[in-house]
Amino acid sequence: MFQLLPIFLAYIMFALGLQTQLSDFKQVLTKPKALIIGLAMQLLLVPALAYFLVIMFELPDYLGFGIMLLSICAGGITSNMMSYYAGGKIALSIALTAITSMIAILTVPLWVRFFYLLFFQDLPVDFSIVSLSLKVLLITTIPVLLGIAVRRFFPIFVNKWKNSLQQMANILFGLMVLGAIVSNWGLILQQISEIGILVLLLAVLLLGSSLIISSLMGLDEADSRTLAIEVSLQNGAMGIALASLLSQSDKLSAFALPSAIYGVLMNFVVLPFVFYHAYNRHQLKAQKHYHNSRS
């Protein structure tokens, strides 16, 4: 199954591309401030906070590297839907997720090399930035671009099957998480309390710090909510797939464990935030409808 993980990720990224239209980029680029801030937070803030927690918790090197691997995998597969329910800006959410996925060919290999040397001093014998870049291109960037192209040229097909294709992506993500957990079950029993606390704390810090930064930078509430969700929902599927590419054995590496656990526990932080704002939106709409009916 582990050999299929990159294929699973490629399909998930293709499903992400199906949600994206060129108009989403045009809309966001007319006022790019929120997009630029979001990219900066995803590419710099997330790894910085993750490394701070790794040092604070004094994790073993393989788990510390796994946390850092997760931190460079921006863009969760459900962030667009959650942004919608929370009253965020859908175009910003989609554009940010798509852009970080497309530039992963440049950012991910460089970060992987940097963090691998940081934790293990020596790179794997067969490690190559060019080779890893090509693999990232094949499993992330090209599938996203292909999804965008299919959405552009076959809109009727996409509108008919988009929900079913997205559901399949969610199922594959669940299988990836399950495979990572089963493969490292013994390690989970030893480390679950420490890893669980760390990833929950990471999600809380990402959510809170992104809201604070957005406020300090003068973004409106909708932009702030969108960035908070985008920054908090890391791409656990990509982290698991990268771990399989870096593994030196047939068994899925323990590098994947933080991504798998985060993929589950992040929802306990982000979902209450989404539900809170969705409930407030519903209440405001109800009050507005009531006042309109009275008048």
Mean pLDDT, residues 161-182: 77
Kind and range of the H or E element at 238? helix 236-246
| C-beta separation of 187 from 257 below 8 A | yes
Q: From residue 127, give the alpha-carbon distance in Å to each of 2, 47, 102, 122.
A: 19, 22, 22, 10
User: What contacts 112, CB < 8 A, 6 or more positions away?
Assistant: 69, 72, 132, 242, 246
Mean pLDDT, residues 138-152: 86
Q: Average per-residue pLDDT in the chain?
A: 83
Residue found by looking up tokens 């009531």 in the block: 290
**Tell me: domain 2-294, CATH 1.20.1530.20, correct?**
yes
CA 151 to chain centre: 21
Separation of alpha carbons 161 and 155, rounded Å: 10
Mean pLDDT, residues 227-252: 80
Specify the pLDDT at position 279.
Answer: 85
Which residue in 47, 29, 46, 163 sits closest to 99, CA to CA?
Answer: 29
Residue found by looking up tokens 């004094």 in the block: 58
pTM above 0.75, yes or no: yes
Least-confidence region, from 107-111, 119-123, 155-159, 290-294? 290-294
Separation of alpha carbons 63 and 106, rounded Å: 24
Separation of alpha carbons 157 and 166, rounded Å: 14
Q: Which of the 8 DSSP states describes residue 45?
A: I
With a cut of 80, say whether residue 206 has pLDDT above it.
Answer: yes
User: What contacts 257, CB < 8 A, 6 or more positions away?
Assistant: 63, 66, 180, 181, 184, 187, 188, 191, 195
Separation of alpha carbons 286 and 197, rounded Å: 38
Which residue in 184, 205, 193, 207 sits closest to 259, CA to CA?
Answer: 184
Residue pLDDT, tens place only, 35-64? 999 999 999 999 999 999 999 998 888 889
Specify the pLDDT at position 249.
Answer: 56
